[in-house]
């Protein structure tokens, strides 16, 4: 297994470019199932989650080529089940259920099961499909969906689930009549999915607001689309500059979708300015304490919570982070504390007593964003930090350690056997 070794203490400098968004690319790749033909998607990041989805689509009969762009040929979709091995490792695989039942009238998809950051049910996806006329059977960990005629529906979401909103939008594109989603998720990745669906001929309005309206059409065409840059990767670089007292320029930064993240980072004292199409991030290394609550977009993203905690562990004073999206997303706390942080958790709240410095240690990544927080802490910790189980990091970051190295970090990847 790979691990990442960091010798901390280097202040980051230079320019870095953000890759395409993982969370935008995943549903857009799934959307290819809605139409027969050759689809082209550019800006797809090279990540483990993307490769897992490519494996799933190949299993369904798609032919995929992934070099600089991704090409998906869906002429020969002839399998309609998504097995546990593929859904278990990535919850977004569950998104195939809607498009499969919409285009082929049937699907059998494994329930995702639990994951490190919480229970994460799919009850809202299922309830919404039922509202559109889909028959659902749940047996032995699999959801079997079938449908003779898919019909539009008025759907109110108990919570603005991102995946749920995406699943309903894709399904409704081929349903008879109008679907209205109320309390829909407003994430930029949903706006991007709708942009991609429009290139296929879908009739959708209201994306980016809480009410989305979809007029079903009889048939969609192959898509041709470029995904937006990754706002979480961009935010991670901002924290990397902030925590190391760095001075970096970020290229391809989706600043218009990063309001809450940028506001909070500015409150900590980091200077973030747009300059000639780049985003300049400058930090003196002195960090103010702040209070943060994760919320659905446009609130502060849960996917930036662990990175923010790494930064605040070195703040002047006590910071508070409240996690309202996932019930168990503080597993990184124990590992950050091993690096010298002083963090206590009470229910959904982390109380972070700022310390003067962190000290390198061997730590273990437990989920995707937790791994990023450990790497960020390692950049500034005194001495050597070794982050084990970085396969979590590879799920969602495209060459993170190589990009950090270009910014001057002393960081490298090796096998745990070489330690
Ligand atoms: C997506 C993102 C993930 C991000 C999350 C929240 C992708 C591939 N992943 O995940 O990175 O952290 O949004 O911004 O885009 N819920 C239910 N029932 C459901 C569906 C969700 O109770 O049927 C709950 C979940 O358990 C969770 C909350 O709703 O507590 C939000 O989940 P959701 O928005 O669905 O997240 P994902 O789409 O899985």
User: What is the rounded distance in angstroms from the CA atom of residue 363 to the CA atom of residue 226?
Assistant: 37
For residue 275, the SS3 value is strand
pLDDT at 117 over 60: no
Judge if 222 and 237 occupy the same domain. no
Judge if 349 and 233 occupy the same domain. yes
Q: How far is the CA of 33 from the centre of ligand 1 (A)?
A: 22
User: What is the rounded distance in angstroms from the CA atom of residue 79 to the CA atom of residue 378?
Assistant: 45
Q: What is the pLDDT of residue 116?
A: 58
Judge if 15 and 32 occupy the same domain. no
First vs last Cα of the chain: how many Å apart? 11
Closest C-alpha to ligand 1, atom 21: 161
| Average pLDDT, integer, range 136-152 | 94
User: Which of 120, 155, 167 most suits a substitution to test ligand 1, by most atoms within 8 Å of the C-beta?
Assistant: 120
CATH number of the structural domain spanning residue 109 = 3.65.10.10
- With a 6 A CB cut-off, is 395 part of the ligand 1 pocket? no
Judge if 204 and 279 occupy the same domain. no
Helix locations, 291-387, DSSP H: 305-312, 332-338, 368-380
Judge if 289 and 219 occupy the same domain. no
Q: 406 and 1 in contact (C-beta within 8 Å)?
A: no
Q: How far is the CA of 7 from the centre of ligand 1 (A)?
A: 35
User: Which of 28, 158, 159 most suits a substitution to test ligand 1, by most atoms within 8 Å of the C-beta?
Assistant: 159
Closest C-alpha to ligand 1, atom 17: 121
CA 60 to chain centre: 24
pLDDT tens for 177-232 read 999 999 999 999 999 999 999 999 999 999 999 999 999 999 999 999 999 999 99
Reading the block at residue 397, the tokens are 């970051």
Domain region containing 385:
2-19+229-418
pLDDT tens for 40-60 read 999 999 999 999 999 999 999
Last residue of a domain, one of 209, 226, 243: 226
Judge if 55 and 114 occupy the same domain. yes
- With a 6 A CB cut-off, is 162 part of the ligand 1 pocket? yes
- With a 6 A CB cut-off, is 111 part of the ligand 1 pocket? no
Q: Calculate the CA dihedral of residues 266, 270, 271, 273 and round it to 10 degrees.
A: -70
Last residue of a domain, one of 199, 226, 253: 226
Judge if 13 and 26 occupy the same domain. no
Last residue of a domain, one of 226, 246, 263: 226
Judge if 220 and 276 occupy the same domain. no
| Average pLDDT, integer, range 94-99 | 97
- Domains in the chain, number: 2
């Amino acid at each position: 297994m790979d691990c990442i070794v960091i010798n901390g203490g280097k202040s980051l400098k230079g320019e870095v470019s953000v890759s395409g968004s993982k969370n935008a690319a995943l549903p857009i790749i799934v959307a290819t199932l809605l139409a027969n033909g050759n689809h082209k998607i550019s800006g797809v990041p090279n990540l483990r989650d993307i490769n897992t989805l490519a494996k799933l689509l190949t299993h369904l009969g798609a032919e995929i080529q992934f070099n600089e762009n991704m090409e998906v040929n869906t002429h020969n979709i002839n399998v309609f089940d998504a097995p546990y091995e593929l859904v278990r490792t990535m919850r977004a695989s569950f998104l195939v259920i809607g498009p499969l039942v919409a285009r082929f009238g049937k699907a059998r998809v494994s329930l995702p099961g639990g994951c490190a950051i919480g229970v994460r049910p799919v009850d809202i996806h299922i309830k919404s499909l039922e509202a559109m006329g889909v028959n659902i059977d749940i047996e032995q960990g699999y959801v079997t969906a079938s449908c003779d005629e898919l019909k539009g529906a008025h759907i109110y979401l108990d919570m603005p689930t991102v995946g749920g909103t995406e699943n309903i939008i894709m399904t409704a594109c081929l349903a008879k009549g109008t679907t209205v989603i109320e309390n829909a998720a407003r994430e930029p990745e949903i706006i991007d999915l709708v942009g991609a669906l429009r290139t296929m001929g879908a009739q959708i309005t209201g994306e980016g607001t809480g009410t989305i309206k979809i007029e079903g059409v009889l048939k969609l065409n192959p898509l041709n689309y470029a995904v937006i840059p990754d706002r979480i990767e961009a935010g991670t670089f901002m924290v990397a500059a902030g925590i190391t007292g760095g001075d970096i320029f970020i290229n391809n930064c989706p600043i218009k979708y990063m309001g809450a993240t940028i506001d909070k980072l500015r409150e900590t004292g980091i200077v973030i300015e747009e300059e000639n199409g780049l985003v300049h991030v400058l930090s003196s290394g002195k960090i103010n304490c702040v209070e943060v609550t994760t919320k659905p977009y446009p609130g502060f993203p849960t996917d930036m919570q662990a990175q923010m905690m790494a930064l605040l562990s070195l703040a002047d004073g006590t910071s508070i982070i409240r996690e309202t999206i996932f019930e168990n997303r503080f597993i990184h706390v124990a590992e950050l504390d091993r690096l010298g942080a002083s963090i206590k958790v009470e229910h959904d709240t982390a109380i972070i007593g700022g310390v003067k410095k962190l000290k390198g240690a061997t730590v273990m990544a437990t989920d995707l964003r937790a791994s990023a927080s450990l790497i960020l802490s390692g950049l500034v910790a005194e001495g050597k930090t070794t982050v084990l189980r970085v396969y979590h990091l590879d799920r969602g970051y495209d060459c993170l350690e190589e990009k950090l190295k270009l910014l001057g970090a002393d960081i490298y990847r090796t096998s745990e056997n070489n330690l």
